[in-house]
């Protein structure tokens, strides 16, 4: 029967914080508890997990059509779901199916208890692709480079009165001793596709870089401001210093803060630059004007017009999903999703056919091999094929 232990395990699985032994324990329980017991358990956990996020009807219906199509005993009339309350029930069962598929086991038929494999449209060939990890290159002021993922913990370099160390946690830390040197020396941290990294700047500010991103910064902050430059996507937790504002520059855009938490997404292949504020206050400026944000707001700048638009009530959890180990989509189209996958798995993406305007909603772990991500995505009817470091998508 469903108990607190299984509730604990399913909760951890949906949150992406499970261990391999916990995953195996949950898989065994699901195999031994088919039918309604399983459905009720996973419905309850999906309710807790989804919070106020709901799987859209068109997504759950597509998933269900794939599941039901594998059972010839179900007539076409039974496959059509029209009642809204019934659709909502089945949307939760569809979510349970995603969990079962992720565990690599089966969906059980309620009529004869025979296992029915969840056949998806994914075609994954040999040579799976592992997820990204903590990878970055640090370029020092003299032009020399350090591969941070292979560098040993401890002191890596010294520049003037600044020591650069790699901590046991794998983060890069800058410590300034005494009075900063007169000459300003700049360093650059760059993450490749398939990489991410965390750095503590000389003023104590904490910075996280997503894949294919960069941060240029001085080895010590001097003068009236603390200015850094970025590309890609970067999250900041800025140390407060009212006498020395913190400035983030990305192209022609500047973001000024005193001490706050915010995320900047400024990839060159995205049509919109987004600055999302979690705590404090920031001022976003560009030649066409400026805007001051409050927590929960987002400034959007289109690359074509350079106009600033402020959007309220942003889902900050979605914006910060990358830092917390997830892909999180909310009505995102296929091209948007595949750009994120391309950066994280360091792959090239091509399409056989028109990607279309279909949108998708869901939450997937970033620590899974790409084939597992595609198994879940393909429940919505999209075909994926892996060929070396290339992904071919057939919408």
Higher-confidence residue: 18 or 298?
Answer: 298
- Reading the block at residue 363, the tokens are 């939450």
CB 280 within 8 A of CB 260: yes
Whether the per-residue pLDDT at 124 is higher than 50: the answer is no
Higher-confidence residue: 226 or 16?
Answer: 226
Q: Which domains does the chain have, with CATH numbers?
A: 4-116 (no CATH), 150-316 (2.60.120.1440)
Whether the per-residue pLDDT at 287 is higher than 70: the answer is yes
Whether the per-residue pLDDT at 2 is higher than 70: the answer is no
Share of the chain above pLDDT 70, in %: 70
Residue 173: Cβ within 10 Å count:
18
In the structure, what pLDDT confidence band is assigned to residue 329 with cuts at 50, 70 and 90?
confident
49 Cβ neighbours under 8 A, 6+ residues apart: 11, 14, 15
Q: Name the pTM for this structure.
A: 0.73
Residue 252, pLDDT score: 93
Q: Find the mean pLDDT for residues 225-253.
A: 96
Higher-confidence residue: 130 or 22?
Answer: 130
What value does the mean pLDDT of the chain take? 78
- Reading the block at residue 267, the tokens are 């990839």
In the structure, what pLDDT confidence band is assigned to residue 47 with cuts at 50, 70 and 90?
low
CA dihedral for 212, 215, 216, 220, sign (positive or negative): negative
Whether the per-residue pLDDT at 286 is higher than 60: the answer is yes
Q: Summarize pLDDT for 372-392 with one digit per residue, the tens.
A: 788 767 766 788 888 889 999
């Amino acid at each position: 029967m469903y108990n607190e232990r299984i509730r604990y395990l399913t909760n951890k699985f949906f949150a992406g914080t499970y261990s391999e032994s916990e995953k195996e324990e949950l898989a065994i329980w699901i195999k031994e508890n088919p039918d309604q017991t399983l459905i009720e358990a996973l419905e309850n956990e999906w309710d807790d997990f989804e919070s106020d996020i709901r799987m859209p009807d068109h997504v759950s219906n597509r998933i269900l059509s794939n599941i039901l199509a594998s059972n010839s005993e179900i007539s076409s009339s039974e496959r059509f779901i029209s009642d809204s309350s019934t659709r909502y029930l089945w949307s939760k069962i569809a979510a349970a199916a995603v969990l079962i598929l992720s565990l690599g086991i089966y969906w059980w038929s309620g009529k004869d208890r025979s296992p029915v494999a969840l056949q998806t449209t994914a075609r994954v060939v040999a040579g799976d692709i592992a997820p990204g990890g903590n990878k970055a290159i640090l370029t020092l002021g003299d032009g020399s480079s350090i591969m941070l993922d292979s560098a040993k913990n401890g002191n890596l370099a010294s520049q003037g009165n600044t020591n650069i160390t790699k901590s046991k946690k794998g983060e890069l830390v800058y410590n300034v001793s005494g009075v900063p040197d007169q000459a300003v020396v700049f360093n650059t941290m760059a993450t490749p596709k398939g990489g991410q990294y965390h750095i503590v700047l000389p003023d104590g500010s904490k910075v996280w870089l997503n894949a294919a991103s960069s941060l240029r910064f001085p080895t010590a902050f001097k003068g009236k401001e603390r200015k850094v430059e970025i590309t890609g996507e970067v999250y900041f937790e800025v140390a407060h210093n009212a006498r020395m504002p913190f400035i983030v520059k990305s192209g022609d855009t500047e973001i000024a803060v005193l001490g706050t938490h915010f995320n900047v997404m400024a990839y060159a292949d995205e049509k919109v630059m987004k600055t999302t504020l979690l705590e404090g206050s920031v001022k976003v400026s560009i030649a066409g004007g400026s805007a001051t944000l409050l927590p929960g707001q987002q400034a959007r700048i289109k690359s074509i017009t350079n106009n600033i638009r402020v959007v309220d009530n942003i889902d900050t959890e979605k914006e910060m999903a990358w830092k917390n180990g997830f892909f999180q989509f909310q009505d995102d189209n296929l091209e948007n999703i595949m750009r994120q996958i391309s950066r994280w798995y360091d792959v090239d993406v091509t399409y056989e056919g028109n990607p279309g305007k279909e949108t998708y909603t869901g939450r997937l772990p970033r620590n899974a091999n790409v084939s597992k991500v595609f198994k879940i995505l393909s429940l919505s009817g999209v075909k994926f094929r892996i060929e070396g470091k290339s992904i071919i998508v057939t919408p």
